[in-house]
Structure 1
Amino acid sequence: MTTQNKATAAPRGAAGEPVLAVEDLSVDFLLDTGAVHAVRGVSWQVAAGETLAVVGESGSGKTATALSVLRLNPEPPCVYPGGRVLFAGEDLLSCGEKRLRAVRGGAVSMVFQDPMTSLDPLQRVGTQVAEVLRHHRGASRAEAREAALAALDEVGVPDPARRYRQYPHELSGGLRQRVMIAAALVGRPDVLIADEPTTALDVTVQRQILDLLLSLKERHGMAVVLITHDLGVVAETADRVVVMNRGEVVENGDVLDVFEHPEDPYTRALLAATPRLERTA
């Protein structure tokens, strides 16, 4: 395949070395009814080979923070009154659109909650996976198709050659999510951001998708930022956790430490509300 585009690439950090850092980030939405302060002074970082979970209720600011990494919040009404998003030392909030397009889907990829609204209904799914390599790596049509088929196979899509030619509406929800993951990973990103990637799926498929993400993280050594409201998922998959409430970080630390010794009342309330299976006498 064509040599990786230097404008797109960034050196993958060694395990334990921060590859993405959000520093004192604030996100406002300037609406006709006034300013909404969605994110206020949020800071966290994730290292190569690490899974960071960002948790909180709906409206806590976790998705607005995640979308800010790649400047995917609509501008306007979104503005960034303060903070930085550092990828390999480069502030993405200060980048021009051309540079951002190079980073999005290449060095930093994102898997969204609902693939049906993220995949183009008018394009075959294989074409959408291959397009990542055509855009970010300068691959030929044949090279991109070969890599896309390999990516679909890697994420467990059965009969990749047949599925390659299908449209999103012809696939189940679980298969559509696998296609989204294939598109996110085909370019071998340094960071994968997964925003509630299993919410719309049944429990069995949820488990499969989470296991897949963890397996691919280990295989490729990338950093994963998992946005979720499910503390059970956090306990099973994450190395560190950030808890958000009303646009602010209220807890940030090792998963085991936070779960066993939560310091903030909001974190304690979330943990208390998490269902537990207990043996009865």
Structure 2
Amino acid sequence: MTSTTAASPVLEIHDLRVDFRLAATTVHAVRGVSFSVAPGETLAVVGESGSGKSATALSALRLNPEPPCVYAGGHILLDGKDLLTRGERELGRIRGADLSMIFQDPMTSLDPLQRIGSQVAEVLRHHGGHSRAEARAAALSALDEVGIPDPERRYRQYPHELSGGLRQRVMIAAALVARPRVLIADEPTTALDVTVQRQILDLLVRLQQRHGMAVVLITHDLGVVAETADRVVVMHRGEAVETGDVHDVFARPEDPYTRRLLDATPRLETAG
């Protein structure tokens, strides 16, 4: 967990409303959600499945499929510029460079037919300004930074040749190789066993502290929130029902849903 910062927000979401207009109905997935995150700060967005937290996260990079997704209102501001008004070409320059994302399942996010080193280097090649040799060197450095052993050998391997934990580290390397100012981590440890989950979370904390980036952590795990986040947004049925400092929200939850969510969290009690 980082120290709460007084810096100006780098990413701001104001009154965001996201609909999915299907053939027979319209799903109001996000209903007027607002929050912000500053450099060096970790903001957790927490809620049960279907609460709208992932739809909110994907909206920040405009990755919800349009259609059926329709941005029905609100603003997503990166350094004061509204991403909802930007064209696809400009968004392509922003994704990965200024604003990056780690997805839940690296096996479905990584290209199974492309070597992992090429996939990490491709981020820099896409954003220009790097020769093939420079991008390769930066990718090797990124693989080493996220704790992948023997990065030269791993660079040449394919995703199926790596364990789940190593694949997730590759995803983190790809997300950070261009040094984005905002990292969105959408349930980054869901598919991993408990020991590897701890390693990945510790890695994210160290990398954030090293690079001073803002982190938006999407999760349903309140234990993870308590250990890693500065502030928390609690979502329920597409709405942000409570926002505040993690310690304040956990110690004195105001919304009934937040209290139910906390009460449902397993606790290790010691008799006597």
Same fold (TM over 0.5): yes
5+ residue gaps in structure 2?
Answer: none
Question: 1:31 aligned to 2:22?
Answer: yes
Corresponding residue number in structure 2 for 1:47 = 38
Partner of 1:16: 7
Aligned counterparts of 2:6 and 2:141: Cα–Cα separation in 1: 26
Q: What is the alpha-carbon distance in structure 1 between the residues aligned to residue 169 and residue 99 of structure 2?
A: 18
8 A contact 1:112–1:196 mirrored in 2: yes
Q: Does 1:202 align with 2:193?
A: yes
Aligned partner of 1:263 among 224, 230, 254: 254
Aligned residue identity for 1:63: S
Aligned-residue CA RMSD (Å): 0.8
Match of 1:92 in 2: 83
Mapped partners of 2:131, 2:268: distance in 1: 52
Say whether residues 1:155 and 2:149 are aligned partners.
no
Paired position in structure 2 for 1:11:
none
**Matched position secondary structure for 1:18:** coil
Distance of 1:108 and 1:213 partners within structure 2: 16
Partner of 1:73: 64
Matches for 1:228-267 after TM superposition, within 5 Å: 228-267=219-258
Q: How many angstroms apart in 2 are the aligned matches of 1:43 and 1:170? A: 41
1:212 aligns with 2:203: yes
Q: Do structure 1's residue 172 and structure 2's residue 163 form an aligned pair?
A: yes
The SS at the match of 1:258 is: helix
For residues 69-93 of structure 1, the C-alpha deviation after alignment (integer angstroms, 9 at most, x for no partner) is 0110000000011000000010001
Q: TM-score, normalised by structure 1?
A: 0.94
Report the Cα distance in structure 2 between the residues aligned to 1:120 and 1:257, rounded to whole angstroms. 42
1:187 matched residue in structure 2:
178
- In structure 1, the residue corresponding to 2:10 is in which secondary structure? strand
Shift of 1:60: 0.2
- What code does the residue aligned with 2:90 have? R
What is the TM-score with the length of structure 2 in the denominator? 0.97
Unaligned ranges ≥5, structure 1: 1-13
Of 43, 54, 75, 1:63 maps to 54
Per the TM alignment, residue 175 of structure 1 is displaced from its structure 2 partner at its CA by 0.2
- Which residue, 243, 266, 272 being the options, matches 1:275? 266
Residue 114 of structure 2 aligns to a residue whose secondary structure is: coil
Q: Secondary structure at the match of 1:244?
A: strand
- 1:15 and 1:48 in contact (8 A); partners too: no
Q: How many residues align?
A: 268
Q: Using the TM superposition, give the Cα deviation of residue 35 of structure 1 relative to its aligned residue in structure 2, in angstroms.
A: 0.6
Shift of 1:15: 6.0
Partner residue, 2:100? 109
CA deviations over 1:16-65 (Å, ceiling 9, x no partner): 22000000000000001111000000000000000000000000000000
CA separation in 2, counterparts of 1:251 and 1:165?
Answer: 46
Q: 2:125 aligns with which of 123, 129, 134?
A: 134
Structure 1 residues 216, 15: closer, same or farther in 2, change over 3 A? farther
CA drift of 1:199 comes to: 0.5
Deviations 1:173-196 (A, max 9, x none): 000000000000000000000000
Distance in structure 1 (CA, Å) of the matches to 2:172 and 2:24: 37
Which amino acid in 1 is paired with 2:101?
M
CA offsets 1:181-214 (integer angstroms, 9 cap, x no match): 0000000000000000000000000000000000
Q: List structure 1 segments (4+ residues) > 4 angstroms apart after TM superposition.
A: none
% same residue = 78
The answer for the alignment partner of 1:227 in structure 2 is: 218
Taking the aligned partners of 2:79 and 2:122, their CA distance within structure 1 comes to: 25
Letter in 1 for 2:211: H
